[in-house]
Homo-oligomer: A and B are copies of this chain.
Amino acid sequence: MSSGRYLVDGKPYIAQRPKRADGRRNYDAILAAARKAFESAGADASLEDIASQAGVAIGTLYRHFPTRASLVEAATRDGLENLVAHAERLTAGPDPLDALIAWMREAVVHFSTFRGLVGILAQSMYDEGTPSHTMCSAMHRSGADLLRAAQAAGRVRPDLTPDELFDLLSGAAWVREQATPDRDGSARFLELALEGITTRD
C-alpha cells in the first residue's frame, strides 16, 4: 500500500529547474501544460495528456516530476510564495485586523486555484513527507504571525489557534472550489467566519 507520502531518497522531492538547455525547455513546457490542465481538469488531470500537450514523452514528465504531488507543488509554488511575501508586506500596515482579513481573502483564492488543490495543501500542512509541506509551513507561519498581531491588538478572539484559522481558510477555499460560476459562497463564508472570530466592540 502506497502510504500517501511522496518521498524520494527518504525526503520530499522538490522539483528543481534542470541544468541542460533541453531539460529546462521541457521542464518549463511541462509546467505550463500542467498549469493549464490542472486549471481545467483539476489536480487529477491526466499526466499523459499533460506530457503530450507539452510535446514530450511520458517518461520525460516523470523524470522531472517523479510524483503528481511534486508537479502540483511546482505548479503552485510561485503563487504561494507571493502569498507569503504579501503577508510580510501586510505586517507593516497600520491595522492588524485589516491585514489579517486581506491576507485571508487572498489565501482563499490561492488555495482554490484549481479543483483538488485545497485537499493537497491541507494534507501537506501536517505531513512532512510531502513536496508542498515546505511552502505550507511557510504559509502557516505567515498566517500565525498575522493572527498573533490581530490578537495582540485585541481585534481577534485570543483563543483562536493558527490551526483553527487554517481550518476556516481551507473550508472557505473548498467551498470556492466546489462553486459553479453562478454560485460562489466563499466570500460570504469568510465574512461569516470573520464574524465568528473577531471580538465585539
Cα–Cα distance between A194 and B197 once the two chains are bound (Å): 10
Chain B residues in 8 Å Cβ range of A170: 174-175, 178
Q: How far is the CB of A194 from chain B (nearest CB, A)?
A: 7
Chain B residues in 8 Å Cβ range of A175: 167, 170-171
Determine whether A50 belongs to the interface, using a CB cutoff of 8 Å to chain B: no
Q: How far is the CB of A73 from chain B (nearest CB, A)?
A: 18
Chain B residues in 8 Å Cβ range of A126: 180, 183
Q: Are A185 and B200 in touch, CB under 8 angstroms? A: no
Q: Are B178 and A123 in touch, CB under 8 angstroms? A: yes
Interface residues on A, range: 20 to 34
Determine whether A196 belongs to the interface, using a CB cutoff of 8 Å to chain B: yes
Q: How far is the CB of A22 from chain B (nearest CB, A)?
A: 33
Contact of A167 among B122, B163, B185, B195 (CB under 8 A): B185
Determine whether A72 belongs to the interface, using a CB cutoff of 8 Å to chain B: no
Contact of A196 among B164, B180, B195 (CB under 8 A): B195
Chain B residues in 8 Å Cβ range of A172: 171
Residue with the greatest number of chain B CB neighbours at <10 A, chosen from A164, A174, A188: A174
Interface residues of A in 159-201 (CB under 8 A from B): 160, 163-164, 167-168, 170-172, 174-175, 178, 180, 183, 185-186, 188-189, 192-197, 200
Q: Are B189 and A192 in touch, CB under 8 angstroms? A: no
Chain B residues in 8 Å Cβ range of A168: 189, 192
A180's closest neighbor in chain B, by CB?
Answer: B126
Chain B residues in 8 Å Cβ range of A12: none
Residues of A within 8 A of B (CB): 119, 122-123, 126, 160, 163-164, 167-168, 170-172, 174-175, 178, 180, 183, 185-186, 188-189, 192-197, 200
